[in-house]
Amino acid sequence: MNSAAPTLTLTIRALTWCLHLLIAGLLALTAARAVAGGGPHVAPTVATAAALELVYAAGPVLPRGRRSRWTAVLWLAAVGLVWLVLLTLSADAVWLAFPLYFLQLHLLPRGAGLAAVIATALAAITAFAAHQGTFRPAAAIGPALGAAVAVAVVWGYQALYLEVERRRRLIEELTATRTDLAAAQHTAGMLAERERLAREIHDTLAQGLSSIQLLLRATERALPDRPDTAARYVGQARQAAVDNLAEARRFVAALAPPVLEGTTLAGALERLCATTSTRNPLTARFHLADDPVPLPTAHEVALLRVTQSALANVVQHAHAVTAEVTLGYVGDHVTVDVVDDGVGFDPDRPPVPHPEGGGFGLAAMRARVRALDGTLTVESAPGHGTVLTARLPLPRADAPEAEASL
């Protein structure tokens, strides 16, 4: 909120009332001096002063509208004409030139206002000299100096007012911009959180439910001839449900995945391969290619989720017999390779995402890796298996550990 505009409004009102009081006082003084001094023009002077007061008082109550500028000009001309009549009757009317300067500068355009001020000053100087019977340069100093002061004050005030208005508009624009920015940040935060939840649901709940579905199908096939095998499948499905419940609770709270608690990324990947091999007709093997390097939680979570999604794709779509997961540290990058011997596909024509058929895995994996300035490459061909590589840059030694983007 800008308080400058209300302050200027109060200032304008105060100056307006001061101008009204000044004109009323000068007219009263002119009439009083005429009465006190006597002379042949007492009655015309008092009458003209009263007429000028009435004409001036009509100005503030004139109707305002589309033609208010011309109405003000006509009113100002009437005030000027009555003042000239009063000026011919009394030398004391010369003091009214000073408030007239402010009226002319306020109501007329800059050029016309300056011309009116000069004409008023010349009329005051000429009339005063006529009343005195002679012209003296000192008599011209008062009207001329008053005109100069009025021009300086009004133009200075107008410049100040324009500057205040400019700053007010800038503040309004800044406020509007900040409001728009806050709304955009709020929207971006909502979209980021929605994307995070979508990735987590795809990589945890969706894959877990798919695994449970496969185990239950295997249970149906085992019944009733192999009850022990069916019971084992049911137990594995129950454990998958328990694991996914824990995953759901943790990603809602934005915590690290439970498989990373109390272990390293290599240990989590090895356990993931073992669990995948136990629950599915797939042999998944884990390999650690280099000495492990400590990673930020965000890197570990991203690589774990990418591997989970990749192995889920192998189970559901590749019809593979084996899958090899390799964690490596090459130079200033950490990589995870997932290689399977399945049916493969054309990377240039990936499956179209569909709510029932899936197809969101690759997009989710790329989003995770790209968020950490990494790359995801897929090499495959129909009938020749698939090689998926996630590559993330290792953090600098002096860089603070990033928070997990779960």
Which pLDDT band, with edges at 50, 70 and 90, does 63 fall under? low
Mean pLDDT of 364-370: 87
Alpha-carbon distances, residue 160 vs 62, 106, 157, 237, 250 (angstroms) = 28, 14, 5, 78, 60
Consecutive H or E run containing 44: helix 42-58
Question: 266 versus 405: which is more confidently predicted?
Answer: 266
Confidence of residue 255 (pLDDT cuts 50, 70, 90): low
Average pLDDT, the chain: 82
List the one residue out of 206, 270, 240, 284 whose CA is nearest residue 232.
Answer: 240
Nearest CA-CA partner of 182 in 371, 190, 198 = 190
Token duo for residue 2: 């800008």
* d(C-alpha 17, C-alpha 265), whole Å: 81
Strand 322-330, strand 333-340: pairing: antiparallel
Helices (H), 201-296: 207-222, 227-252, 265-279
pLDDT at 401: 46
- Whole-model pTM over 0.75: no
pLDDT digits (tens, 9 = 90+) for 199-240: 666 666 777 777 788 788 888 888 888 888 888 888 888 887
pLDDT at 286 over 90: yes
Find how far residue 276's CA is from the centre of its chain.
47
pLDDT, residue 406, reads 41
Determine the average pLDDT of the residues in 58-69: 67
pLDDT digit string (tens) for 6-25?
Answer: 555 677 778 788 888 988 89
pLDDT value at 65 more than 80: no
State the pLDDT confidence band at 404, using cuts at 50, 70 and 90. Answer: very low
pLDDT cut 90: percent of the chain above it: 20
Average pLDDT rounded to a whole number, residues 32-46: 84
Output the CA torsion sign for 207, 210, 216, 218: negative
> pLDDT: is 65 or 27 the higher one?
27
Relative to beta strand 386-393, strand 375-380 is antiparallel
Environment class of 215 (CB within 10 Å of its CB; exposed 0-12, middle 13-18, buried 19+):
buried
pLDDT beyond 90 at 263: no
CA atoms within 13 A on the CB side of 265: 28
Average confidence (pLDDT) over 351-356: 56
Rg (CA), the chain: 45
pLDDT band at 250 (very low <50, low <70, confident <90, very high): low
d(CA 234, CA 173): 64
* Confidence at residue 336, expressed as pLDDT on a 0 to 100 scale: 95
Of the given ranges (203-207, 225-229, 281-285, 393-397), which has the lowest mean pLDDT? 203-207
Give the C-alpha separation, 248 to 198, whole Å: 12
Q: Is residue 309 over pLDDT 80? A: yes
Query: What is the mean pLDDT of the segment spanning 48-69?
Result: 78
State mean pLDDT over 236-253. 74
How far is CA 43 from its chain centroid?
70
CA 6/CA 8 separation, integer angstroms: 5
When pLDDT is cut at 50, 70 and 90, the band that residue 3 belongs to is very low
Identify residue 303 by its one-letter amino acid code: L
The residue that leads in pLDDT, 378 or 182, is: 378
pLDDT of residue 405: 43
pLDDT at 118 > cutoff 90: yes
- Residue 346 has a pLDDT of 85
For residue 286, the cross-strand partners are: 325
pLDDT of residue 390: 94
Residue 162: its H or E element: helix 137-200
HEC per residue, 332-374: CEEEEEEEECCCCCCCCCCCCCECCCECCHHHHHHHHHHHCCC
**pLDDT, mean of residues 108-131:** 89
pLDDT band at 269, cuts 50/70/90? very high
pLDDT at 403: 43
Helices H / strands E in the chain, number of each: 11, 5
